[in-house]
Amino acid sequence: MKIALKDISHSVADQPILANINVTVGSGECLLITGRSGSGKSVLFNIICDITRPQQGHVLIDGVQIATMTALQYARFRRDLGVIFQVSALISNLTLEENLLLPLNRHHSRLSSDEKRQKVWEICQQFGLTQYLDKRTDRLSSGLASLAGLARALIMEPKALIWDAPMAQVDRAWCQHELELLKHLKEKGTTLVLCSNRQELITRLADHQVHLGFVDELTLGSEHAAQAQKCQ
């Protein structure tokens, strides 16, 4: 999936946060969005996921503006984009299995119940979550909830994965595991968009970087400014 941000500018509560962001990331590439706390990473994340529409500019998916997509194109975009939020977006009063079945029921309605449950089982095996399948997700520890969020995003085998704060809330061993997983997804051709300042991601995965900052850091434009660059 090719994701292009064209001339994106956006204010929150009359405060300019994003100014003229232009960057394109293609299949098998990784775009890293960096910047210190409050610089607008989550605002941009929400724009790419189409939770927020930008006040200026466009997001194009495989050359088509999200804002002008047909219902079918939009449904495909939602199906093919895996999203992992900074804070777990699992439905707390459902079990882990019920949470993982939700995207399959929505986007793979042609699969039989047994096939869907098999997919859920396989992804849980991959993440060591099978023993929690019957547990309500508000009873999971934050580390397990973050794994469950990852499983829910990947169960759809997305063409693109957008992840706010990978390698956060997990121990060192799991950080390494997440890094390897991201590398593997990239090699498979998945488009990655990651919001993070982790140096390991910058040096090992990023093909493109958008650094969101303030004038004192960048001496560009207004209070908030962005620099997009291609990584070597």
Ligand X SMILES: Nc1ncnc2c1ncn2[C@@H]1O[C@H](COP(=O)(O)OP(=O)(O)OP(=O)(O)O)[C@@H](O)[C@H]1O
Residues within the interface to ligand X (CB under 6 A): 12-13, 17, 35, 37-43
39 burial (CB, 10 Å; 0-12 / 13-18 / 19+) is buried
Pairing of strands 56-61, 30-34: unpaired
C-beta closer to ligand X: residue 73 or 197: 197
CB of 229 to ligand X, least distance (A): 18
CB of 118 to ligand X, least distance (A): 37
Detail the DSSP E strand segments found in 52-145: 56-61, 64-65, 81-84
- Helix (H) / strand (E) containing 47: helix 41-48
C-beta closer to ligand X: residue 42 or 99: 42
C-beta closer to ligand X: residue 51 or 75: 51
CB of 12 to ligand X, least distance (A): 4
CB of 214 to ligand X, least distance (A): 10
Q: At what angle do helices 71-80 and 96-107 cross, to 10 degrees?
A: 150
Radius of gyration of the chain (CA): 18
C-beta closer to ligand X: residue 17 or 21: 17
